[in-house]
Chains A and B, each alone.
Chain A
């Protein structure tokens, strides 16, 4: 199974500042076409289902604010929130869909400093 490891486990950032979450996969999740990675980021607020933010490592889902961006390649990926807003307080998960079993990172809890 592909293991997804996020860091840090929790993060406190001031409003308007940048937040960065890392995700590392235990093996390559390069899609068979060779030009994109099978990596998604989700945001989950208390009492709600996860919400898709980013897929193919860097494609923003429709309706997601452009302060959210994804990057990375190989086995190292990053979710960046360029200017933290109060509504961004949540737990964030990365997930690989390269092969089953699909696996998630353990989650990163993002709070306001």
Chain B
């Protein structure tokens, strides 16, 4: 059974930092391109960024609203992907989903972790 378990969400003040983790199991993590997708309260889905698998260079791509403020990394030895966020803004408040893709398709979703940016 595929499982993606996010952790690290919580309340943070504007300008603060947070690191989210996502532990994966049930699929070949090293073959997956790992993504983060977020959803603001009552709103739609927004892709945040991704990291390719090591054999594809392990490179990252980020959405414009977060570029320069986030870093996605992965530890294949732990089947874990990370989302480091800094200079957080109130508009970053959202549920953050970890999403695995083995053939470009966003097939494996975690339950999400809520990040609230508020003073």
**Chain B residues in 8 Å Cβ range of A50:** 37, 45, 97, 109
Size bracket, chain B contacts? 20 to 34
Give the contact stretch, choosing among B20-28, B70-78, B81-89, B100-108: B100-108
Contact A104 B45 (CB under 8 A): yes
Identify B105's interface contact among A51, A93, A97, CB under 8 A: A97
**Smallest Cβ-Cβ distance to B109: which chain A residue:** A49
- 10 closest A-B pairs by CB: A102-B47, A49-B109, A55-B105, A100-B61, A104-B45, A101-B63, A107-B44, A97-B104, A52-B107, A106-B44
Q: How far is the CA of A56 from the CA of B101 in the complex (A)?
A: 13
Contact A49 B110 (CB under 8 A): yes
Q: How far is the CA of A51 from the CA of B45 in the complex (A)?
A: 12
Mask, B2-15, CB within 8 Å of A = 1, is 00000000000000
**Chain B residues in 8 Å Cβ range of A95:** 45, 106
Q: Shortest CB–CB separation between residue A63 and chain B, in angstroms?
A: 12
**Smallest Cβ-Cβ distance to B33: which chain A residue:** A97
Q: How far is the CA of A109 from the CA of B45 in the complex (A)?
A: 14
Interface residue B53 (Cβ < 8 Å from any Cβ of A) = no
Contact A101 B107 (CB under 8 A): no
Q: How far is the CA of A93 from the CA of B105 in the complex (A)?
A: 14
Mask, B34-47, CB within 8 Å of A = 1, is 01010000001111
Q: Shortest CB–CB separation between residue A70 and chain B, in angstroms?
A: 13
Contact B105 A101 (CB under 8 A): no
Q: Given A95-B45, A104-B44, is A49 in contact with B111 using a C-beta cutoff of 8 Å? A: yes
Identify B106's interface contact among A52, A106, A107, CB under 8 A: A52
**Chain A residues in 8 Å Cβ range of B61:** 100-101
